[in-house]
Amino acid sequence: MARTRCVVGPHAAARACATSSRRGFAPAATRSSHLRSIWLSALGCALLLATACAPRAPAIASKAPTQAPESVVARPSRASWATDTYSPRPATLPDPRDAEVAAACGGGIDAALDAVAEQVVRSFAATNELPEAQQLEFLQRRAGNPHVWARTFGAKVDGGVIDRQKLASDVRAAFGDAALRTRCGVASLRTGAGAQTSESLAVVSVEVVADLAAMPTRGRTGGWIDLDATLTDGVTDGRVVLLPPRGAPRAVLSSTSQGAPRHVKARFALAMPGRHVVQVLADDGHGPRPVLEAEIWADVEPSSSAPSGEVPGESAGDAVAKIDDALFARLNGLRAAEGIAKLARDPMLDGVAQAHAESMMRHGLLAHDVGEGDPRARIVAAGGGAFKILGENVARAHDERAAHRALYASPSHRGNMLDARFTKVGIGYVLDAERGEVWVAQEYGG
């Protein structure tokens, strides 16, 4: 008798958004630090991975970019880094049997995401586990895909074959209104024969709100890199943040064109050998958030494995029971490890953070503004008008440690966490027992 498994990735793909303001509210990319989350940014947000049969929150996607190649692109090798990072990479399905599932992705099939899906399905077939967020992001960057907040879906049948019609329906339901903006990679694997047949299928999806012109994955110290990102309709106010191999993230001078489509352009130098992470942020109507990321390795070969998830100083929260206290301890542990003065808890900021965490969960939206004002408006309304600089990180993850790591991993969010100008912080959280998620908000003041 056929046995079917549908798995939801139990991990959070964290992305953070950071914002700060001096007599106003401006994204972190205007500072030498960065972060925001929603799916993680100086609002620091984290996005959960999901699977086809047990979908979690919907993703964000967009239409095809204006600089798409004219023909189908070969899939990047599974074993080596792509020469360039860019999107989209139009592709055809390697297995026509998966066409019905792929049709749920209104934004089409992407060759780099297909390469990622091929690796995911092989691992899923052997372990019944979907990749952790950092591993998934590593596979994307190695394949040359720049999108953030990817999601994975997995289905497996022992003793039979997958009902692709049902799976396609589940995936489409998970995408919801974002289906037309969702781009995917789809891969399946069948082993054995007859009653011993086992079939696995994996979908890797991204909601596209921007696309990236080709950018090299390797470079030279002192060399200059040009960035050209295309924003989709309704997305504005692009900014660029660069995280060097050592030191704090910094804002990169950039420009956003007017008219449609909007282009975000920037030029920056690789100041030292090692791994550089460049992040593009933009406003999707709910505040600034990361929309693209790329890695450039200067004078060293790209890593063959995903970076360790542990964050400097994070063990400071290991023995702390309450979620907000643990997040606070980990945050100050990080600052201590970097030689930055610790933050003090502020009851007013705590209240603002708690209210925002609850509001995000209630609306099912990880963002800086869910209809109750941006961070500055909410903090000032609560009596925080004396602060000269404000910031916010938001995240959603399967636990508080994952949320903390997600924020740290995002160049823009880490900027808020390590900004020495901040002296106070408020932390709020809400547990969603049904989904096994925690929603987190951090409000910063200085």
pLDDT in tens, 420-442: 999 999 999 999 988 888 999 99
Lowest mean pLDDT among 61-65, 202-206, 277-281: 61-65
Across 184-191, average pLDDT: 94
Phi, psi of 375 (to 5 degrees): -55, -45
- Classify strands 344-345 and 424-432 as parallel, antiparallel or unpaired: parallel
Where residue 79 falls among pLDDT bands split at 50, 70, 90? Answer: low
Q: At what angle do helices 400-409 and 323-337 cross, to 10 degrees?
A: 30
Distant-in-sequence, close-in-space partners of 164: CB < 8 Å, separation ≥ 6 = 97, 98, 100, 101, 201
pLDDT in tens, 342-397: 999 999 999 999 999 999 999 988 999 999 999 999 999 999 999 999 999 999 98
Cα separation of 346 and 348, whole Å?
A: 6
- The one-character DSSP state at 39 is S
300 or 30, higher pLDDT: 300
Query: Residue 199 gets which letter from DSSP?
Result: E
- pLDDT on residue 264: 97
Is pLDDT larger for residue 342 or for residue 66?
A: 342
Per-residue pLDDT band at 104 (split at 50, 70, 90): very high
pLDDT of 105 > 60? The answer is yes
- The distance of Cα 82 from the centroid of its chain, to the nearest Å, equals 20
pLDDT value of residue 42: 29
pLDDT at 171 over 70: yes
Give, in order, the Cα–Cα distances in Å from 179 to each of 39, 187, 204, 354: 18, 19, 13, 31
pLDDT band per the 50, 70, 90 thresholds, residue 119: very high
CA distance 302 to 142: 8
Task: Give the pLDDT confidence of 215-258 residue by residue, as tens digits.
Answer: 999 999 999 999 999 999 999 999 999 999 988 899 999 999 98
Q: Is 101 in a helix, a strand, or coil?
A: helix
Q: Which amino acid is present at 251?
A: A
Element (H, E) at 141: helix 133-143
3-state secondary structure 413-445: HHHHHCCCCCCEEEEEEEEECCCCEEEEEEEEE
pLDDT digit string, tens, across residues 5-33: 545 443 343 434 444 443 333 333 222 22
Does 199 score more than 90 pLDDT? yes
Mapped onto helix, strand or coil, the DSSP state of residue 337 is helix
CA pair distance 298, 160, nearest whole angstrom: 48
Packing angle, helices 400-409 and 133-143, rounded to 10: 30
Q: Which tens digit of pLDDT belongs to each residue from 31-48?
A: 222 222 222 222 332 222
CB of 361 closer than 8 Å to CB of 38: no
CA–CA separation, 19 and 413 (whole Å):
8
CA distance 183 to 165: 19
Q: What residue type is 224 in one-letter code?
A: W
Task: Confirm if 209 and 216 have CB atoms less than 8 A apart.
Answer: no
Mean per-residue pLDDT, 120-137: 91
Per-residue pLDDT averaged across 275-279, rounded? 96
State mean pLDDT over 143-171. 93
Cα Rg of the chain, angstroms: 21
| C-alpha to C-alpha distance for 202 and 124, rounded to whole angstroms | 8
Mean pLDDT value across residues 98-118? 96
With b for 16 or more beta-carbon neighbours within 10 A and e for fewer, the 429-441 pattern comes to bbeeeebebbbbb
- Whole-number average pLDDT of the chain: 83
Q: What pLDDT band is residue 74 in, cutting at 50, 70 and 90?
A: low
What does the block give as tokens for 414?
């880490």
Query: Which residues lie below 8 Å from residue 362, measured CB to CB, with a gap of 6+?
Result: none
Cα 442–443–446 angle (5° rounding)? 135
